[in-house]
Amino acid sequence: MSTSSGSSSKPPADIGKTTARRFPLVHQLIHFADLRNFYREMREALISANRRAGAQQGLVTKAKNKIAQLQAEMTRLEQERDDLLSYRQRVEEEANQISAVLPRLKDRLLQVQQIEQALENLADIKEAVDQQERANGGPTSQSIQDLKLAVERLLERADAVEFFEESIEDAEADADSPTDRPDRGDG
């Protein structure tokens, strides 16, 4: 106990004995050390702030690049949409032209099929006439009449077919004057 009371019984240090006037160099060194610590902390804070600012600048640069990419993509998509719209418009125009010609084309196809049927009929009759000629030495008058009738039917079918170019011109004329279309009975 005497040791604890002995340390507490020491007289307090006299501040006047350690003043800056008495030890100016020591006080300046202490002050310099404090400044050095303060500047080191300031440098570390500045480095940390620069890192944060650099990271933020990197984020800003990434965001700007992403925005530029998205804008380029959007521009490309808008161009593609415009191309598709113009393509759609062209297709609709072509579909309208085709739809105007399609009924006539259907009629022409039917006429062509009738011509093919007439040709097959003519070929069958010609084959029969040839067989009669080989077998009997000549065709019968009925066979000749059948052959003439088949040729006449084929020619009638061929005359009934309109040329495709004429039907396109007719369709264009119908499209130019829609009031004439209901008056026409041949379609």
Does residue 14 sit within a domain?
Answer: no
Q: With respect to residue 112, please indicate whether it lies within any of the assigned structural domains.
A: yes
The pLDDT of residue 75 is 96
**Range of 38's domain?**
23-176
4 part of a folded domain: no
pLDDT confidence of residue 92: 93
The pLDDT profile of the chain, 187 residues, written as one tens digit per residue, is 444 444 556 666 566 666 667 677 777 888 888 888 888 899 999 899 888 888 888 888 888 999 999 999 999 999 999 999 999 999 999 988 888 888 877 888 888 888 888 888 888 888 888 888 888 877 778 888 888 888 888 888 888 776 655 555 665 666 565 554 444 444 3
pTM of the predicted model, to two decimals? 0.38
Domain count, the chain: 1
Convert the chain into a string of H (helix), E (strand) and C (coil).
CHHHHHHHCCCCCCHHHHCCCCCHHHHHHHHHHHHHHHHHHHHHHHHHHHHHHHHHHHHHHHHHHHHHHHHHHHHHHHHHHHHHHHHHHHHHHHHHHHHHHHHHHHHHHHHHHHHHHHHHHHHHHHHHHHHHHHHHCCCCHHHHHHHHHHHHHHHHHHHHCCCHHHHHHHHHHHHHCCCCCCCCCCC
| Per-residue pLDDT, 118 | 84
Residue 15 lies in a domain: no
- Per the domain annotation, does 117 fall within a domain? yes
